[in-house]
Amino acid sequence: MRAFAFDTYSQPLHEVAAPEPELGVRDVLVRVEAAGVNQLDEKIRAGEFKAILPSPLPLVLGHDVAGTVLRVGSEVRGFAVGDHVFARPRDQRIGTFAERIAIDQADLAPAPTSIGIVEAASLPLVALTAWQALVERANVQAGQKVLIHAGAGGVGSIAIQLAKHLGAHVATTASVKNADFVRELGADVVIDYRTQDFEKELSGYDLVLDSLGGENLDKSLRVLRPGGKAIGIAGPPDPAFARAAGLNPLLRLAIAALSRKVRARAKKLGVGYEFLWMRADGSQLREIAALVDSGSIRPVVGAAFPFDETPQALAALTRGGLRGKVVVTGAGAVA
């Protein structure tokens, strides 16, 4: 089948003839009708995670899918041929830049019924990231103050809406051209990151969702109230992540060293820091789909590319400047 992969780290994405997916007893074979493009795809291609997330090469990229069920394994329950589904396949089983993919049933959910296939494909990774940060980790409550960086981006555009649904007061950083857009999503306060210093404008926040890292993360710690928390999705990874990932002792030490400074600064300020590496979760996707169908969350697709232009789609995302997600369409052929 047709797919897009890379053979060595930093090599450009290119089309390959990939083997058909093997279907396990708990797997669902999905025809890929649209696939979201994420910064994670580019970071994996560039080799940024090869030490902590090694993958056999060549590797077919792609972490988001929406499509139609073609076959199911013998132990699959709740999915049938012809169902419309969406998913973020688990690590080590990615590969949605292809015509078909086999996905563990635990990672899969029925697609929202109120939106199209392109919009559905844009959601899984970013919506799960927002859910696991705001609901699972932070347990955001009504009336709390939440700062979401890069509000016009893939994660930010969904996180703003989810935080508002949870009843939070939401601040975000964005460019002037996107200020009205993020307000429409629900942001109460918009900081122009080019001309304003959010650290001087904001204080007393319960939670910061940081997607930038570095100096931005350092400043984020200082806008938190005592006992507040910063959750980073750009790093640095922390010891809890290393334990959960089952990394060897040497890598655990290296990971601890990467985040030692930021954890020490957080402790001195009386706040917390956690790194979030989102995981696949079909049950959470079902809750997200319900929020989409109720109108509480709407997907944001900044650009769509045909399957033949998957490398150009990844390049467009890397260049930046787009609202929400990039999606590739039309991969699947009837099997």
Taking CB atoms within 8 Å and a gap of at least 24, the contacts of 113-116 are 113/293, 114/292, 114/293, 114/295, 115/292, 115/298, 115/299
Amino acid at 303: A
> What's residue 321's pLDDT?
87
> What's residue 191's pLDDT?
98
Q: What is the DSSP letter of 132?
A: I
> What's residue 49's pLDDT?
87
Q: Kindly indicate the confidence band of residue 332, based on its pLDDT and cuts at 50, 70 and 90.
A: low
Which residues are CB-neighbours of 249 under 8 A, at least 6 positions away? Answer: none
Residue 10's region, left for phi above 0, alpha for psi from -120 to 50, else beta, is left
Inform me whether the pLDDT recorded for 151 exceeds 90.
Answer: yes
pLDDT digits (tens, 9 = 90+) for 78-123: 999 999 999 999 999 999 999 999 999 999 999 999 999 999 999 9
Of the two residues 75 and 321, the one the predictor is more confident about is: 75
SS3 category, 110: strand
Q: Which domains does the chain have, with CATH numbers?
A: 2-123+299-329 (3.90.180.10), 125-275 (3.40.50.720)
Helix axis angle for 214-222 and 249-269, nearest 10°, is 40
Residues 62, 194: Cα–Cα separation, whole Å: 32
Q: What is the pTM of this model?
A: 0.96
